[in-house]
Each structure stands twice: as C-alpha cells, then as structure tokens.
C-alpha cells in the first residue's frame, strides 16, 4: 500500500519542534525488511470493533503511550505507572457492563462514571508529553493530549457542552484563558479503568497511526505481558478508529512470539514434541504467506480459525515454547518460496488436493496434494467418525438451487473418487428420475460437512480404502553392498541439489541387482481402527439422506492428529512435514 505523509505545523513552535508526536505515520505499511519478524494480529475489528477496552499489567510498572512507526517499531511519547487502564473512543462513554463486558460503552448513559467528549484547552503547544503533562497537572482533571502530531494541555471532560462552558467561565474568573474543544472522530482516550480520569488523549486526525500502548517492563525485568478480556498477550497494541468508526485493536509483536500463541491453541502443550515442532513450522510458514491478509483493517492475520487460532500467552507452556524455539525461523519451502501450509484436525485416512477442495490452481500449490494417510489409524482412541442427516429440501436449497429439481431427492451416490479415495462427484436423483451431478467440494461446503472424506450411512460397498497403521517391513535390502536394512527409520538420502533429507512419509523404492525393491516405514502401531460404516450410495429414508465419514477439517495439508500419531511412532518433525506437504524442504527464508 502507498504511504501518506502529512506534515502538521504549529505556528508557535520552532521548526525543530514540529511533528513531535507521529504526524501522518501510516499504520499499515510494513517494509519487507521487517515483514518476517513483526506481525500484526487483529483482535477486535469490523463488527467486533470496540468502544472501550481494558488493559492490565499485573506484574509490571504501568504502560507506555506512543505510536508504531512505518517499520512497526514502537515510539514512546509518555508513560503512566497505572497498572489498569482502558482505551476508549473520544466521545461520551460510560463505564459499566454491556453485552457481557465491563468497560466503556456509549449505551450506558445511566452510569455514574462517564468520560465526556468536551474539554478545555490551555493556550499554546508543547514540545514533549512531559511538558504538556506538567502544564495540565496544575489543574484538576488536567491531562496531556497529542492532536494531529502536536502536544496540547487540556482540562476536564464533560458529557454536556453547557457544563464545559460553565467550567470555562469559572476558570476565566480566576484569570485562566481556555478554549472549548472536542476531538475528531479518530480520537481515543487512555483512562484509569473504572474512573473518568483521562491519562492521555491521542487523535491522529485520520492519518492512520492510531495510539500505541505497551506495558512497561516487569519490575524484575522480563517479557512484556498484558492482560485483556481474559487473555494474556506479548508485545503491544494499536488502537485505531479506521474511517472514524469504533476502535480496531491490533496486537503487534515478534513473529515467533505470535507462533508461541498459536501452537498450544492449535495442538496443546502436552502433545509430543515432534508434533509441536511440525506445528510451529506450519504456523510460521502460514503466517508469513498471510501478511496483509486483512489489509483493509490494517493488520496481517486475525485471531480466529479464519487465519490461525491465537490466544497470546494464555495457553503457552514450556513444551510449546520449546518447540518454537527449537525451530526458530524455520519455514516450509517449495520452489524457492515459503509454502502456504494449511492444516486441520484429522483426515480420516487421506488428505486431499487443494484443487479438488477449493478449486485452486494445483500448479501454484504443488505441495498441497492428497496422500493416503495410514498414521491416524495408529491412534486407536481417536474417534473421528461422524454422520449428518439432511432433508430433501435442505439438499435442494443448499446444493441444487441452480438446477430445475422437479421432485424430492430420493437417492444419492458417489459417482467418482479422487486418487486418495475421497469423493469427487456426487449424483442426486429426484422422484421424477432426473439426475443431478455436482462436485464433492460443493456438497462439502454447502452442507457444512465435518470432513472431506465422506460417503453415506449404510453397510454397502465403498471404494474408500480403510486406513491401516504403518506395517512391519516385508523384506530387507542391501545398502552400498555392505549394510542391510529393513526399515527407512533414521535413514537419509541426498537429493539432486546435494541436500541431505530424512526418509519418511511414504513408500520408498530402492534399485537392487534384481530390480526395484520396496521399503516401508518399518514402524509398528496399535490395532487397525475400524472404519465407519458407510457406503457409496444411499436411498432416502423418511425424506432424508444421511452422510457419513471420518475426520474433521478441510483435509488440505497436515493432519494434526496424524502428526501426533507420527510423533508417537518416532518420526521427526521434518518427516511429518514432508509427508503431508509433498516435495517441500524446511529451511530459512
């Protein structure tokens, strides 16, 4: 995006004092040089934007106020020792509980605690936050403000203009001249939580900087941590009223601190270390391929599963942190670029190609191709079978709305399969005998099925292969004429580029004197998990069709439970990643 630079001059300041507080810094420009070490996570935005948000530094010594420059580095303007503060819009807001959250809201007009939109401003401008704060502190309710890049000293806050006028008259009687002011629709106040006391007012006049807030260091030193809405976060926060609306709140932090907030949420601190390491690489890779995904809201990735589930430090543990540290900076690489490493909970026996599920150009994602996956079956306790029942009218309205369906749906069948045994096309038949063939992707999406690996409830014949746990080796081969191996576990091969890669995640062929021999994984697991009872076709029962399947998620890329199973069997995180992401390497970009 193009950056705008706006210079705001104050006639009473020397040139050296112009632009003393972030005039015109755009919040959404991230230079390539810092893109891999700083990430912007949207916490509250769009319909979830805030009128007021509480922050608490429970162990530290208050907060710093400032802004983030063009490279997303925090520039401090001032600070407060207050450990519990709130940031709220500069309009009439009232403290109390609304919609389940206790903070500052415009709707709670009956609250006895209010922060008003009218203020009195002392003459002149100031060169620093400290100077403005000192001038304002001579009056009850005084506070420093940064308006359009210039420091001001202001007094009081009033919800009604007449009260502000009365206070102005009282000061005038004491010989104090003030101007009655408000702020633009872009302003925010930092206040002491639960009070009407303003600590700092910041208004960027729509230039896109927003107010930056970071916790001060712990009294004993250590990582910056802030509590907000029950979550604990590293890094800092930007509060910006984009287009003059409610506050968009963005958590700005280092990339690996972000990864540490995703890994334990997506898996769990008690998962096997190699699975956690594979997840860390996948999270980091996906984040770097998603920078600017939410550019319209001035951040990179959101906190939800629409991007990657992120909870800050809230769920972090020693193991998940270690997994991130042990893979620091590592990403999945394909074709000299960071791979977009999608992942999901489980695949039920096979992943699927991105071109099948999302109609993406397969050439763009050569590493996102379906593979038959025997590893989830190793987890005998994993119950990922499911059924979903839909009425004829639901199927017609959600899947067949573009067709001229004359009667009710009486049957359905999988009429083509993908290479991994997942459904490719589904044909529905109505009561007049008409057939309607649609893609499995359309059925999966429009019916909201739990997984892409599905058929229909029943005990008929299905061409989907039953997942089997890794088998024991059926033979052995000689390596270099001197050593004999019957498993690829712990073996490495040199590729065409001279890189040494671990073997794993599929069938390996070895050329011998007698031809080509096959080595399998050589890893033993538990008993075979019985497949769900489903068939390739179904007849409507009481006007409904019941779908059945295994797995949870879109089946593209890495199965998290598959990674868990592989780690339990002794596979490394590199082997896990290279099994689920075809042809990738793991390295640094």
Considering the domain architecture, whether residues 139 and 288 belong to the same structural domain is answered as no
CB 572 within 8 A of CB 502: yes
**CA–centroid distance for 568 within its chain:** 27
Q: How far is CA 564 from CA 119, 345, 434, 577, 589, in A?
A: 59, 10, 45, 12, 27
**CA–centroid distance for 220 within its chain:** 31
Q: For residue 510, tell me if it sits in a domain.
A: no
Considering the domain architecture, whether residues 23 and 104 belong to the same structural domain is answered as yes
φ/ψ (deg, to 5) at 469: -70, 160
Structural domain containing residue 213: 15-30+50-246
Q: For residue 316, tell me if it sits in a domain.
A: yes
Crossing angle of helices 573-580 and 273-288, rounded to 10°: 50
Number of domains in the chain: 3
Confidence of residue 441 (pLDDT cuts 50, 70, 90): very high
Considering the domain architecture, whether residues 201 and 278 belong to the same structural domain is answered as no
Q: What is the DSSP letter of 262?
A: H
Q: Quote the percentage of the chain above a pLDDT of 70.
A: 80
Token code pair at residue 423: 């459904």
Gap between the Cα atoms of 529 and 527, Å rounded: 6
Q: Is the pLDDT of residue 6 over 50?
A: no
Long-range pairs of 316-319 with CB within 8 A, sequence gap ≥ 24:
316/260, 316/261, 316/264, 316/269, 317/264, 317/269, 317/270, 318/269, 319/269, 319/270, 319/271, 319/273, 319/276
Q: For residue 363, tell me if it sits in a domain.
A: yes
Considering the domain architecture, whether residues 364 and 228 belong to the same structural domain is answered as no
Strand, helix or coil for residue 373: coil
Which has the higher per-residue pLDDT, 517 or 143? Answer: 143
- Which of 218, 246, 274 terminates a domain? The answer is 246
Q: For residue 337, tell me if it sits in a domain.
A: yes
Q: Is the pLDDT of residue 36 over 80?
A: no
pLDDT value at position 484?
55
Which has the higher per-residue pLDDT, 459 or 79? Answer: 79
Q: For residue 332, tell me if it sits in a domain.
A: yes
Considering the domain architecture, whether residues 54 and 144 belong to the same structural domain is answered as yes
Q: Quote the percentage of the chain above a pLDDT of 90.
A: 75
Considering the domain architecture, whether residues 326 and 416 belong to the same structural domain is answered as no
Return mean pLDDT, the chain: 85
Q: For residue 45, tell me if it sits in a domain.
A: no
pLDDT value at position 30?
41
Considering the domain architecture, whether residues 187 and 309 belong to the same structural domain is answered as no
Considering the domain architecture, whether residues 396 and 539 belong to the same structural domain is answered as yes
The pLDDT tens digits of the residues spanning 480-530 come to 444 555 555 455 454 333 333 445 444 444 444 444 344 443 333 333 333
The residue count of the chain comes to: 589
pLDDT value at position 223?
65
Considering the domain architecture, whether residues 446 and 322 belong to the same structural domain is answered as no
Considering the domain architecture, whether residues 267 and 409 belong to the same structural domain is answered as no
Considering the domain architecture, whether residues 74 and 152 belong to the same structural domain is answered as yes
Q: For residue 180, tell me if it sits in a domain.
A: yes
Considering the domain architecture, whether residues 22 and 87 belong to the same structural domain is answered as yes
pLDDT value at position 468?
52
The pLDDT tens digits of the residues spanning 464-485 come to 555 555 544 344 444 444 455 5
Q: For residue 496, tell me if it sits in a domain.
A: no
Nearest to 449 by CA among 307, 306, 348: 348
């Amino acid at each position: 995006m193009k950056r705008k630079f706006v210079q705001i001059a104050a006639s009473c300041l020397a040139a050296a004092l112009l632009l003393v507080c972030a005039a015109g810094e755009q919040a959404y420009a991230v230079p390539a040089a810092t893109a891999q070490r700083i990430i912007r996570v949207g916490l509250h935005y769009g319909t979830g934007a805030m009128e007021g948000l509480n922050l608490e530094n429970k162990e530290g010594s208050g907060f710093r106020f400032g802004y983030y420059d063009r490279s997303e580095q925090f520039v401090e303007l001032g600070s407060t020792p207050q450990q519990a503060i709130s940031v709220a819009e500069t309009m009439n807001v009232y403290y109390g509980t609304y919609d389940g959250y206790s903070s500052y809201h415009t709707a709670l007009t009956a609250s006895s605690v209010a922060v008003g939109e009218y203020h009195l401003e002392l003459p002149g401008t100031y060169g620093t936050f400290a100077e403005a704060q000192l001038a304002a502190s001579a009056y009850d309710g005084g506070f420093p403000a940064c308006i359009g890049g210039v420091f001001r000293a202001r007094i009081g806050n009033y919800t009604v203009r007449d009260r502000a006028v009365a206070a102005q008259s009282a000061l005038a009687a004491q010989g104090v001249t003030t101007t009655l002011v408000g702020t633009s629709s872009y302003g925010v106040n930092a206040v002491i939580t639960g009070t009407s006391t303003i600590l700092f007012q910041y208004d960027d006049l729509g230039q896109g900087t927003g107010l930056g807030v970071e916790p001060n260091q712990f009294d004993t030193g250590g990582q910056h941590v802030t509590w907000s809405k029950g979550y604990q976060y590293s890094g800092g926060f930007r509060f910006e009223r984009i287009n003059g609306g409610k506050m968009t709140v963005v958590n700005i932090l280092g990339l690996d601190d972000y990864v540490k907030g995703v890994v334990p949420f997506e898996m769990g601190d008690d998962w096997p270390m190699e699975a956690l390491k594979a997840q860390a690489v996948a999270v980091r890779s996906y984040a770097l391929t998603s920078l600017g995904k939410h550019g319209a809201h001035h951040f990179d990735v959101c906190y939800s599963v629409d991007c990657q589930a992120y909870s800050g430090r809230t769920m972090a543990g020693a193991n998940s942190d270690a997994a991130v540290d042990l893979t620091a900076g590592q990403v999945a690489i394909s074709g000299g670029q960071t791979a977009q490493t999608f992942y999901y909970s489980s695949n039920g026996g096979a992943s699927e190609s991105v071109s099948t599920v999302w109609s993406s150009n397969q050439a763009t994602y050569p590493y996102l191709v379906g593979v038959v996956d025997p590893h989830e079956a190793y987890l005998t306790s994993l119950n990922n079978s499911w059924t979903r029942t839909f009425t004829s009218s639901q199927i017609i309205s959600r899947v067949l709305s573009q067709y001229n369906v004359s009667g009710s749906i009486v049957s359905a069948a999988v009429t083509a399969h993908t290479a991994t045994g997942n459904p490719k096309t589904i044909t529905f038949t109505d009561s007049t005998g008409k057939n309607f063939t649609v893609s499995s992707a359309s059925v999966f999406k429009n019916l909201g099925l739990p997984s892409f690996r599905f058929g229909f409830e029943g005990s008929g014949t299905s061409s989907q292969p039953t997942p089997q746990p890794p088998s024991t080796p059926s033979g052995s081969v000689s390596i270099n004429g001197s050593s004999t191996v019957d498993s690829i576990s712990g073996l490495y091969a040199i590729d065409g580029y001279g890189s040494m890669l671990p073997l794993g995640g599929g069938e390996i062929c070895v050329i011998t004197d007698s031809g080509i021999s096959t080595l399998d994984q050589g890893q033993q697991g538990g008993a075979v998990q019985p497949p769900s009872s489903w068939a390739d076709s179904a007849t409507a029962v009481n006007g409904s069709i019941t779908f059945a399947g295994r797995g949870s998620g879109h089946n593209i890329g890495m199965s998290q439970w598959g990674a868990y199973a592989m780690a339990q069997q002794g596979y490394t995180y590199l082997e896990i990643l290279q099994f689920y992401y075809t042809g990738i390497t793991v390295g640094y970009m």
